[in-house]
């Protein structure tokens, strides 16, 4: 599928991709891109410690509501344009090429960055807690040493690089194989998550306190209550439930929940798009949001709100105080069960959830690159699709290399705040939704022949109403991110990162457009047509 360049509108007449995703595949794809494990790990580590008075369960439901509105809006887009390429297709056909390309560039960079972030969690959330917990249970210090190595920067980089490379190979071997692996990993993650919920629901705070004091107390020199007291000495306070803290905390479950709409990237490879995308997008967001809220409620009951805050706060604020490894959720589960078998099961569960993020985000970004190449906004080799595997192997290689670069920057520098690119993504998706408000009127010839044109709310196009609500919801999330220096903030580094990324996208677009024009190719012609299948 590697055609020489000709002056036609598109790189070639067909994409070379095949429709290989059924409704269950789309649902699992989006559930995996949400990743219950990553959501729980981040929200519980960062939430109570840094947002005193913030309720994890309620914050999760707030983020879920926001993403349901976004998912509903994006469902309209993906039904109108059932093509792979995500927001690039929506924006270039709904607005214009330069802004559409620049914002899709921001979008792709965002998810490649979080691909790197996710790969770091393989060590810190999955492997390090496993060996640390085995040390606590068995007393063998070799397990502790391995845990600390895996939780180190070098350990995170090495393990993350291996995960990214393996994920790229799985994607390159074909989407059918990828979806098969996805189903197997999903069953492992689902079974472990159900076991985790049952364990939390049937456990008592007394059992956790006893195990903590018996297993961890002698190792760190502090018992359960002393951890809480130490955190308060260091400055943490519990003011009681507060709405402001809870809303601020909601940006952290919003980070994983945004993955519930990622199937827009593979729209051209989905069978029965209206049904599959409706169930896959809305269903995944609601299911995972409820799961986040349940885990939040149960963990407060079993581990204690103050203890969860204290054990994370002491690790963040004081060297040599707290646990020897980052106290992610699997560590608390291991202490609760005090069982090597259950420790292994729960850590494997989190590893399975973490795996989902990596190939899923690679697929999202490389489908964007592929869409650029079809419209002649990327070099022709980027559009190469293997005739044997029907996968864009060059685009996959490019995204793998960029992910590894971001991994190195994230692990070995403090260049980016964790959620700075979520701010960029929220702004990008808000623009998509604003365009969606006017699309039924701006592009009537396309909209009127689409299946969604018959859907009305109070006499108005359903697409316009849903996208307006989604834009407002995303604007609210962007506001929370900007005012929160821990998540993203309004400093020059955060806002500058967003602005520079967008400006770089504009430069690449206009540079490519001028280069193509010199060869007699007008790239703007593609934006007047539906993308190739």
pLDDT tens by residue, 116-148: 888 888 888 888 888 888 887 788 888 888 888
Residue 179 lies in a domain: yes
Residue 18 lies in a domain: no
Number of domains the chain is built from: 1
Q: Decide: helix, strand or coil at residue 87.
A: helix
Q: Quick one: average pLDDT of 369-393?
A: 83
Distance CA 145, CA 147 (A): 5
| Token pair listed for 73 | 């809006």
Given pLDDT bands bounded at 50, 70 and 90, which one contains residue 12?
very low
How far does Cα 498 stand from its chain's mean position? Answer: 18
Residue 351: CATH number of its domain: 1.20.1740.10
Contact 348, 192 (CB under 8 A): yes
| Token pair listed for 184 | 């197997």
Q: Quick one: average pLDDT of 332-357?
A: 90
Q: Quick one: average pLDDT of 12-22?
A: 61
Q: Decide: helix, strand or coil at residue 266.
A: strand
Residue (of 32, 334, 424) closest to 190 by Cα position: 32
Distance CA 276, CA 192 (A): 26
Q: Tell me the pLDDT tens digit for each residue of 218-248.
A: 877 889 999 899 999 989 999 999 999 999 9
Residue 16 lies in a domain: no
**pLDDT greater than 80 at residue 414:** no
Q: Tell me the pLDDT tens digit for each residue of 165-175.
A: 999 999 888 88
Q: Tell me the pLDDT tens digit for each residue of 211-226.
A: 999 988 887 788 999 9
Contact 451, 274 (CB under 8 A): yes
pTM: 0.88
Residue 5 lies in a domain: no
Residue 1 lies in a domain: no
| Token pair listed for 196 | 């985790």
Domain housing 210: 23-528
Q: What is the pLDDT of residue 374?
A: 84
Q: Quick one: average pLDDT of 275-296?
A: 95
- Length of the chain, in residues: 533
Residue 4 lies in a domain: no
Residue (of 363, 394, 365) closest to 380 by Cα position: 394
Distance CA 362, CA 262 (A): 11
Tell me which DSSP letter residue 11 carries: S
Per DSSP, the residues of 307-325 read HHHHHHHHHHH-TTSS-SS
Greater confidence (133 vs 362) lies with 362
Residue 292 lies in a domain: yes
Residue 17 lies in a domain: no
**pLDDT greater than 90 at residue 69:** yes
Given pLDDT bands bounded at 50, 70 and 90, which one contains residue 422?
confident
| Token pair listed for 513 | 């457009």
Distance CA 283, CA 308 (A): 30
Q: Is 206 exposed, middle or buried (0-12, 13-18, 19+ CB in 10 A)?
A: exposed
């Amino acid at each position: 599928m590697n055609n020489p360049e000709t002056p036609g509108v598109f790189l070639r007449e067909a994409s070379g991709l095949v429709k290989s995703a059924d409704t269950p595949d789309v649902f699992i794809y989006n559930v995996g891109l949400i990743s219950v494990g990553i959501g729980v790990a981040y929200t519980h580590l960062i939430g109570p410690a840094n947002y005193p008075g913030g309720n994890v369960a309620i914050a999760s439901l707030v983020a879920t509501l926001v993403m349901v509105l976004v998912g509903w809006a994006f469902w309209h887009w993906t039904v109108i344009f059932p093509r792979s390429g995500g927001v690039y297709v929506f924006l270039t056909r709904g607005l214009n090429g330069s802004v559409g390309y620049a914002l899709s560039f921001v979008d792709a960079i965002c998810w490649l960055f979080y691909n790197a972030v996710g790969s770091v969690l393989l060590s810190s959330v999955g492997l390090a807690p496993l060996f640390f917990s085995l040390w606590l249970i068995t007393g063998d210090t070799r397990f502790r040493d391995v845990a600390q190595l895996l939780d180190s920067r070098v350990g995170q980089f090495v393990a993350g690089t291996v995960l990214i490379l393996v994920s790229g190979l799985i994607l390159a071997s074909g989407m059918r194989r990828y979806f098969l692996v996805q189903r197997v990993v999903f069953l492992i993650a689902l079974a472990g998550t159900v076991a985790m919920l049952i364990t939390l629901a049937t456990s008592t705070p007394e059992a956790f306190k006893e195990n903590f004091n018996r297993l961890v107390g002698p190792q760190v020199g502090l018992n359960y209550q002393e951890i809480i007291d130490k955190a308060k000495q260091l400055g943490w306070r519990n003011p009681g439930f507060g709405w402001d803290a809870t809303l601020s905390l909601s940006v952290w479950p919003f980070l994983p929940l945004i993955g519930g709409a990622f199937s827009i990237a593979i729209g051209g490879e989905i069978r029965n798009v209206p049904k599959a995308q409706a169930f896959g997008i809305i269903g995944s967001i609601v299911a995972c949001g409820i799961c986040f809220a349940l885990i939040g409620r149960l963990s407060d009951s079993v581990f204690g709100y103050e203890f969860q805050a204290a054990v994370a706060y002491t690790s963040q604020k004081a060297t040599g105080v707290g646990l020897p490894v980052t106290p992610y959720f699997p560590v608390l589960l291991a202490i609760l069960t005090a069982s090597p078998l259950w420790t292994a099961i729960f850590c494997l569960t989190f590893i399975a959830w973490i795996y989902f993020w990596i190939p899923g985000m690679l697929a999202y970004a490389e489908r964007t690159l592929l869409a650029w190449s079809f419209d002649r906004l990327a070099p022709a080799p980027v559009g190469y699709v293997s005739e044997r595997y029907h996968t864009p192997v060059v685009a996959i290689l490019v995204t793998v290399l960029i992910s590894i670069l971001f991994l190195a920057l994230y692990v070995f520098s403090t260049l980016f705040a964790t959620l700075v690119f979520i701010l960029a993504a929220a702004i990008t998706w808000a623009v998509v939704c604003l365009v969606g408000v006017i699309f039924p009127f701006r592009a009537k010839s396309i909209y009127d022949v689409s299946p969604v044109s018959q859907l009305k709310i109070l006499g108005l196009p359903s697409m316009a109403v849903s996208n307006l609500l989604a834009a407002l919801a995303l604007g609210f999330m962007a506001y929370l991110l900007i005012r929160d220096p821990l998540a993203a903030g309004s400093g020059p580094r955060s806002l500058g990162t967003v602005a520079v990324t967008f400006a770089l996208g504009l430069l690449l677009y206009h540079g490519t457009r001028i280069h193509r024009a010199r060869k007699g190719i007008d790239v703007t012609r593609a934006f007047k047509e539906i993308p190739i299948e």
